Chain A
Amino acid sequence: MELPLLGQIYLPISGVEIMGWKLILLGFTVGVIGGFFGIGGAFIVTPALNVFGFPMVYAIGTDMAQMAGKSIIATAKHSKFGNVDMKLGLIMIIGTVIGIELGATVIMCLENVGNADVDVVVRYVYMVLLFSLSGYMLYEYFKLTKEGAVENKTIFDVGKSALALKMQSIKLPPMVNLTVSGFTISIWVILSVATITGFVAGFLGVGGGFLRVPALIYVIGSPTRVAIGTDLFEIMISGAYGAFTYGIKGRVEIIAAVIMLIGASVGTQFGTLATQYVKGLKIRLYFAITMALAGVSVVLKTIAGIYKNIYSSDLNAWVKVQPQFLEWAQTEGIKLTTKVQVRDWILMNKEAVKGWFAQQSDLIQQTRVMETAWTNYSGYLMLGTAYALSGLIIIRMLQGINAERRRCIMP
């Protein structure tokens, strides 16, 4: 007998068939990581869904939808632990929205100018950011651990950075008293930080949790747990907005999102609970490792891109003269730029594209095989990282629960 939701499931909107257990496991894993780090986890979900055979156009929208549901759970839980600074979160949202719009506009302008390959620029910026943030956090972790060992004391979390102290000393009115974070800061500082992180997120086309959490810690000066809880509060609102806009475009596979959310709801509880049992400094170490591996995953994706460049102009030219494409571009794809129209059509018409490849030379076919392989390596790396990391977080959580119980028995 097959258990419901675990077996083969037909997804009516994208027309894809997928194993339900894969979606539940992915949701669970990303729930653990999201609840623990305060991030949406799109950099794990999108390539993973793609590896599972999910069209990329639906992967992003579906991820947005499950992210909205998941962050409600995570925010509620973090709020219970006193980790959500609502005032800070609400101000951050305003700056983030402005920043994302600016970043997306710059990308569109660059695409319209058409002088450079924007995707390549974006990918390199993404890699530099991931590796430099991760490198700094790793350096800080080892430096502080060494200092702690020399002075024979335990460092639970890092104090405020010099930059955060400088930012908090700016007395530009209106000043905001953040009771949960425990300091007063100018509203303009928060808005500037949120706009800059939002701009980078919009430029890269990502949610930006991996940027906001370090920004909240190092630039604003929030404690690690408060940074995580506050960012999740922001993701809850941006995720709901994203789910709605992607829904309007018909890009959400709602059945898959609900199934993933079932796994994510359990995972999020575990991840959030684990933050109570792991030192802030250690959370940053795990965060740094995850970002470094995400950076490696982008490198692998870049290698896949090199192979893709060999045939993409020929393929795009072929797509642009297809009657089905022209019809689709005039109806459903009318609001998109030509570049996005071609990309989406290729993703949604795999059989037709397969037919085109079959007519190409051996070299092109071999190139396609290599591109697919490197894309899969990238996806599997993220998936493997996510599974390993969530396993580690769950072990930490169980150890913490055990310690809490022992304390209850022996006060």
Chain B
Amino acid sequence: MEGINQWLVELNKNSPVWFGVVTVLTMAIVGVLMAAIAEVILKIFGVKGEVVERFLSQPGN
């Protein structure tokens, strides 16, 4: 962790463009990875996310 911190500080100071690229890539990779994991978990629990009209027509929904 210490090494990563040091590398980020150096990159931030010395190569702003690369720091921008690393920021976007990190966010995209973590985002896609987490989305895939969450998708698998929802599949395991059998959640499909289908619109249930009868449920929606109940009062309060």
Residues of A whose CB lies within 8 Å of any CB of B are: 10, 12-13, 65-66, 68-70, 72-73, 76-77, 80-81, 154, 156, 240, 243-250, 252, 254-255, 257-258, 261-262, 265-266, 269, 272-273, 276-279, 282, 396, 399-401, 403-405, 407-408
Contacts and interface: CB of A to CB of B under 8 A. Distances in A.
A248 B19 contact: yes
A306 B55 CA distance: 49
Contact of A248 (B8, B17, B56): B17
A265 B34 contact: yes
Query: Taking chain B's interface residues, is the majority helix, strand, or loop, or is none over half, making it mixed?
Result: helix
Contacts of A10: 5
B51 A276 contact: yes
A81 B48 CA distance: 10
Contact of B31 (A12, A72, A396): A72
Q: What 6 A-B pairs have minimum CB-CB distances, sorted nearest first?
A: A265-B34, A247-B20, A69-B31, A403-B55, A69-B27, A247-B23
Interface of B: 4-6, 8-9, 12-13, 16-17, 19-24, 26-28, 30-32, 34-35, 37-38, 42, 46-57, 61
A404 B47 contact: yes
B49 A273 contact: yes
B31 A401 contact: no
B24 A77 contact: no
Contact of B61 (A246, A248, A399): A399
A70 B27 CA distance: 8
Query: Taking chain A's interface residues, is the majority helix, strand, or loop, or is none over half, making it mixed?
Result: helix
B38 A247 contact: no
A68 B24 contact: yes
Contacts of B52: 277, 400, 403-404, 407
A70 B31 contact: yes
B26 A254 contact: yes
A119 B27 CA distance: 31
B61 A396 contact: yes
B28 to A, nearest CB: 6
Contact of A277 (B6, B30, B31, B55): B55
